[in-house]
Amino acid sequence: MASENNEYPDLVIVGAGLFGLTVAQQAVEKLGVNVRIIDVRDHIGGNAYSYMDPETGAEIHKYGAHLFHTSNKRVWDYVNRFTSFTDYVHRVYATHDGEVYPLPINLGTVNQFFRAHYTPAEAKALIEEQAGELAGTDPANLNDQGISLIGRPLYEAFIKNYTAKQWQTDPSELPASIIKRLPVRFNYNNRYFKDTWEGLPVDGYTAWFEKMIDDPRIEVSLNTDFFDESQPYNKRALLEAGVPVVYTGPVDRYFDYDLGELKWRTVDFKEVRYDEGDHFGCPVMNFSDADVPYTRAIEFKNFNPERADQQNPDKTVVWEEYSRFADRDDEPYYPINTEADKALYAQYKQKAAEEPNVVFGGRLGTYAYYDMHNVIDQALTAYEEQIEPMLKKD
């Protein structure tokens, strides 16, 4: 299975995120090949990378909160080969009009908001009544869709302004498809995810990722740009040599934006440090009102209460999260996915399918937003269906 060209490994993976790491691990384990991972960043793990903050003892998720959850047994069994998980259960709260409410909207939120003690049936009837003339309709814009799903008062309190900040656009000008559903739980369950398994890696995300590629046949080159022809693992050289490539960068960048640019949203973070042990009392606090410019705040210490003896009891760090449209040089987080973007991606997808010896994967390579478990599942499938056959063919 060794490469005929001794200058290169058997497989080059562009991007050290979860897709690339999973493929590398599988290729080495299943076929014994030599793999080179390159990444333009100075760390592995993609957007799930984390590091320890020395002042507070908190594990900082550099690109925003990452929470592992899945109902996919194949994925759960796979990740548990490299890390064990804490018993963390994600719960979110929202500040509205100076008061804190539990999310997702549930019977506790409803009764607190209306200062009532509705039963599940009474709360359901109330919300249907508050949807008014939009109840049961199929609105075209997000604003009317939100009202039709959860009624005007709850929509305007918890969704409208938050969404406007998230998209920098009035919800009446956004497509209804962004919120195809807005579940209201007619019980007091405020667990955010419904998946079978949930938790955070016991030793942190980066330790998990390092263990995945802890094999001498996997080499990693950081601060290495696939499009920089001064370094050996560049696009032109690899294609000319016929080296199999797994590409997880932006698909439009691969083709030098020759059909146009796909649009993304990005997130800016503002760090605030407090001389107190706990500022919010929870890991994530949403801010639903228009007069607060950020969408939410993340208090990292509260993701890992089991590490209390390793954390500073007098200091905490919070990141405020601001959403905006991304420029080409920004970190792309969420695809905009307008009809024009979808049509443009369809053209790039066709070009990608015709690219010899290259498999495109991950959220950037396929212009889609995925949770971590989705990325791992897709990487396992892509390895079986595309990458292993490509390597065996060579």
Closest by alpha carbon to 289, among 150, 102, 114, 94? 94
On the question of pLDDT at 55 being above 90, the answer is: yes
| pLDDT tens, position by position, 188-225 | 999 999 999 999 999 999 999 999 999 999 999 999 99
Tokens at 103, concatenated: 């999310």
Strand 197-199 versus strand 264-274 pairing type: unpaired
Whether the CB-CB separation of 251 and 332 falls below 8 Å is answered with no
pLDDT at 1: 38
Identity of the amino acid at 21: L
Whether the CB-CB separation of 18 and 46 falls below 8 Å is answered with yes
Confidence tier at 375 by pLDDT (50, 70, 90):
very high
In CATH, which of 1.10.3110, 1.10.3120, 3.30.310, 2.40.50 is domain 103-178?
1.10.3110
Note every long-range contact of 282-287, with CB atoms under 8 Å and residues 24 or more positions apart, other chains counting: 282/91, 282/92, 282/93, 283/65, 283/90, 284/65, 284/90, 284/92, 284/93, 285/92, 285/93, 285/94, 285/95, 285/100, 286/92, 286/93, 286/94, 286/95, 286/103, 286/158, 286/162, 287/94, 287/95, 287/162
Whether the CB-CB separation of 299 and 321 falls below 8 Å is answered with no
Identity of the amino acid at 362: G
pLDDT at 4: 47
Q: Stretch 301-323: mean pLDDT, rounded?
A: 97
| Cα distances (Å, whole numbers) of residue 371 to 50, 141, 200, 315 | 16, 26, 14, 31
Beta bridge partners of 324: 266
The fraction of the chain above a pLDDT of 90, given in percent, is: 87
What pTM was computed for the model? Answer: 0.93
- CATH number for region 11-79+204-259+336-392: 3.40.50.720
Q: Stretch 279-294: mean pLDDT, rounded?
A: 97
Helix H, strand E, coil C: the string for 306-332 is: HHHHHCCCCCEEEEEEEEEECCCCCCC
Q: Across the chain, what does the average pLDDT equal?
A: 95
Burial class (CB in 10 A: 0-12, 13-18, 19+), 248: buried
| pLDDT tens, position by position, 110-122 | 999 999 999 999 9
DSSP state of 62: T
Provide the residue ranges of all domains of the chain, joining segments of one domain with +: 11-79+204-259+336-392, 103-178
Closest by alpha carbon to 198, among 49, 20, 71, 33? 71
Q: How far apart are CA 28 and CA 6, in angstroms?
A: 18
Scored b (16 or more CB within 10 A) or e, 151-168 reads bbebbbbbbbbbbbbbbe
| pLDDT tens, position by position, 12-49 | 999 999 999 999 999 999 999 999 999 999 999 999 99
Closest by alpha carbon to 348, among 256, 212, 215? 256
| pLDDT tens, position by position, 79-115 | 999 999 999 999 999 999 999 999 999 999 999 999 9
pLDDT at 359: 98
Q: Which residues are catalytically annotated? A: 181, 185, 265, 296, 321, 369, 371
Q: How far apart are CA 316 and CA 308, in angstroms?
A: 12
| pLDDT tens, position by position, 220-276 | 999 999 999 999 999 999 999 999 999 999 999 999 999 999 999 999 999 999 999
Whether the CB-CB separation of 262 and 344 falls below 8 Å is answered with yes
| Cα distances (Å, whole numbers) of residue 299 to 166, 271, 315 | 19, 10, 11
Q: How far apart are CA 146 and CA 155, in angstroms?
A: 6
Cβ neighbours around 366 below 10 Å, total: 20
pLDDT at 338: 84
Beta bridge partners of 68: 199
| pLDDT tens, position by position, 327-357 | 988 999 999 888 899 999 999 999 999 999 9
On the question of pLDDT at 5 being above 70, the answer is: no
Confidence tier at 6 by pLDDT (50, 70, 90):
low
Q: What is the DSSP string of 197-238?
A: EEE-BTT-HHHHHHHHT-STTEEEE-S--TT-TTSTT-HHHH
On the question of pLDDT at 2 being above 60, the answer is: no
